[in-house]
Amino acid sequence: MSWPYSVLVVVVSAFLALMILASDIEAPTVDHTATTTTEQAAIIYEAPALPVATTSEPAPQQKTTPVKKSTPKPQLVAPTEPAIKADPDPYVTRIKNPYVYPQLSDSALDIITRAAIINILCIVNNGQSVSGSGVVIDERGVVLTNAHVGQYVLLSEVSQNITCTARAGSPAQSAWKLRTLFMPSTWVDAHAQDLRSPQPTGTGEHDYSLLLLAPLPTVPTPPPIRHLAYDTREGVSFEGDPVLLASYPAGFVGGFIVMNNLYPTTTFGAIRKLYTFKNSSIDLLSLGGAIVAQGGSSGGAIVNRWGNLVGLIVTTSEGETTADRDLRAVTIAHVDRSIREHTGMGLSEFLNGDILEHANDFRVNQLAVLAQKLVDQVPQQ
């Protein structure tokens, strides 16, 4: 089942008439196998009035229990059960003593998490905007966010009609420009058409993007780059594990607040359920109701007690209040498997390489192709 991306504030219908600077572009091949739920993603909004979004501690790597086997149900819109529920048995086991250092205090965990999350704000020339969240995971300024947020950054690199900036602090202030480092072609192939939907949905599979912070001419002295450690191990998160959730939520505020007075939000919670997109992997975390279960939180952080990023907020079910919703996060283990599937390198190996070389390679070989697939879905005026 697919759930609406209510974690992202989005402007889909009028994101229109982008002046694309790239041409003669081909589309990448599709290799998408989704298996369950769709949650609402980042919020898109108009400048005058739009929604917004918004931490928890990293959990120790654990023994992965085997995920319950079941046939994936590729559904992108209708709400259905998310990925197949993972039954803890022999495949995945909890790792004992996952880290050589102790768990962090609540305050220490909150401080390091807030320092590493950013707000991603994209503004279209017609005044409409998109607000989402992201997490810095490398000291060189690599940001991990959702593909349904990163797609607007990608479009900004081929159009003069949209501008994206990374904002940090409390309240959020413009700090850097953004460029795409990597985005899974599989996600674009499966979800490009969602640009036409006023309420896009998805399961969360392959829904991630790597961005790179770059100097912003109007900000001569940007804030220092702070990043979170991440854990790609399969047995890192289990039901009942305490975590910190963090983002820049914007679902219940107007456009003026989003533009001028948007603050990060953190809250402690616990993992409720585990889901898989295939048969024996833990790909999705269910976190239940939380204050950050609202637009703008897409791309926010799920951090364990040791301060390691273990999940990325991706979708949320509908509900009258945030307490009535079910917030979900894709695991960093899933991100690691997906990037390996697309590049032949796991997340750590990819980041240990030459980041600028990776960014330039993406720009030369994939940017125009993926952008055109998105542009083809933009309503013409």
CA distance 275 to 283: 6
* Between residues 348 and 202, the one the model is more confident about: 348
260: left (phi over 0), alpha (psi -120 to 50) or beta: alpha
179 Cα distance to chain centroid: 15
Residue with tokens 């006023």: 198
In a domain, 320, yes or no: yes
pLDDT digits over 41-53, tens only?
433 332 222 222 3
Which tokens hold the place of 83? Answer: 């990925």
DSSP 63: P
In a domain, 250, yes or no: yes
* Between residues 18 and 237, the one the model is more confident about: 237
Report whether pLDDT(370) > 50: yes
HSE-CB at 350 with a 13 A cutoff on CA atoms is: 27
Q: Omega into 4 within 30° of 0, i.e. cis?
A: no
CB within 8 Å of 142: residues ≥ 6 apart: 136, 181, 210, 211, 212, 213, 227, 351, 355
What is residue 3's predicted lDDT score, i.e. its pLDDT?
54
Do residues 88 and 282 lie in contact, with contact meaning Cβ atoms separated by under 8 Å?
Answer: no
* Between residues 25 and 356, the one the model is more confident about: 356
pLDDT digits over 294-340, tens only?
999 999 999 999 999 999 999 888 787 888 888 999 999 999 999 99
Bridge partners (DSSP) of residue 43 are 9
Q: How many CB atoms lie within 10 A of CB 221?
A: 6
Closest CA to 22 of 152, 157, 124: 157
Average model confidence (pLDDT) across the chain: 79
Helices (H), 251-379: 255-260, 332-343, 347-352, 355-362, 368-375
DSSP 28: P
pLDDT bracket for residue 198 (50, 70, 90): confident
Q: How many CB atoms lie within 10 A of CB 350?
A: 20
pLDDT bracket for residue 132 (50, 70, 90): very high
What is residue 205's predicted lDDT score, i.e. its pLDDT?
94
Please give the single-letter amino acid code of residue 27.
Answer: A
pLDDT digits over 45-75, tens only?
322 222 223 333 333 333 333 333 332 222 2
Domain total in the chain: 1
pLDDT bracket for residue 4 (50, 70, 90): low
Considering the entire predicted model, what is its pTM?
Answer: 0.80
DSSP 179: E
Closest CA to 68 of 366, 273, 240: 273
pLDDT digits over 100-114, tens only?
999 999 999 999 999
In a domain, 90, yes or no: yes
Give residue 332's domain range. 3-375
Which tokens hold the place of 332? Answer: 């960093």
pLDDT bracket for residue 87 (50, 70, 90): low
In a domain, 380, yes or no: no
Least confident segment among 10-24, 96-110, 261-275: 10-24
In a domain, 381, yes or no: no
HSE-CB at 140 with a 13 A cutoff on CA atoms is: 12
CATH of the domain at 314: 2.40.10.120
| Phi, psi for residue 236 in degrees, rounded to 5 | -85, -25
Strand-strand pairing, 40-46 and 6-9:
parallel
What is residue 41's predicted lDDT score, i.e. its pLDDT?
40
Least confident segment among 120-124, 197-201, 340-344: 197-201
Closest CA to 275 of 32, 72, 62: 72
